[in-house]
Structure 1
Amino acid sequence: VGEIPQGLPKFSVPRAFEYAESLIPTAFLITGVAILESVGIAKALAAKNGYELDSNQELFGLGVSNVLGSFFSAYPTTGSFSRSAVNHESGAKSGVSGIVSGIIITCALLFLTPLFESIPQ
């Protein structure tokens, strides 16, 4: 694959806004899909497990993660059908499972990226 930068992305404030106007339609489309996907997954799991869902809280968390991620050049975040299903089937009961996943990914970025360089294309 070649050289992969090791470590976490650097914090940076976005400076170039000359493309912002042309990106607005795409941003609204991505936002709409993210809302539908995240709330859809949350509602399905809430119904399956018998708990009440606060869609506003789900969307607030989604918004906060996307705003914070923008300072680290992150992709837009949404709910994940596959990861939610794996979490559900493995018995995860709270958001701590997401924190554990984040810690594992952070450790991989910090310590394991040299191993990924030899993966064939």
Structure 2
Amino acid sequence: MTTVAYSLKKIQVLGVTRDFTTCECCGKSDLSKTIEILDTNSGVVLHFGATCAVKADKYDTLDAMKESKKEISKAVRKYDDRIKSAHIMTYKALVKFGKDSNGELIVAKCIIEDCFKKALNHIESGILIKGGFTYSL
């Protein structure tokens, strides 16, 4: 794999993803998540590890670097909150529907994973289903 050094002038943090596990800045692989960064000069979306994302803008001032760290931290927190909410929704669904006549949970791992993916999709699309009713977030 070749490492490409990007020279960015202006960036916008789009969010966090687990779909890409390699930093496009330094080439580090097997990352648990990467930061999606839009290069506003070219319109290209890049995936950087957290360390490279903080340094991506070649900051003129310490305040600019601190502001970028805050923006990246906010994106990571938002992503972690979505994952946590999906876990809670999955657990509640399994407790409600995944019990046998003795009250024991009888759910296969594939069903749990499918339920989690559906819950995450609902959260990411801004839809909350509660008590049989659908709410937009």
What is the TM-score when the length of structure 2 is the normalising length?
A: 0.30
Larger Rg: 2
Which has a greater percent of helix? Answer: 1
The structure where strand makes up a greater share of residues is 2
Where relative contact order (Cα < 8 A, 6+ residues apart) is larger, the structure is: 1
TM-score between the two structures when normalised by the length of structure 1: 0.33
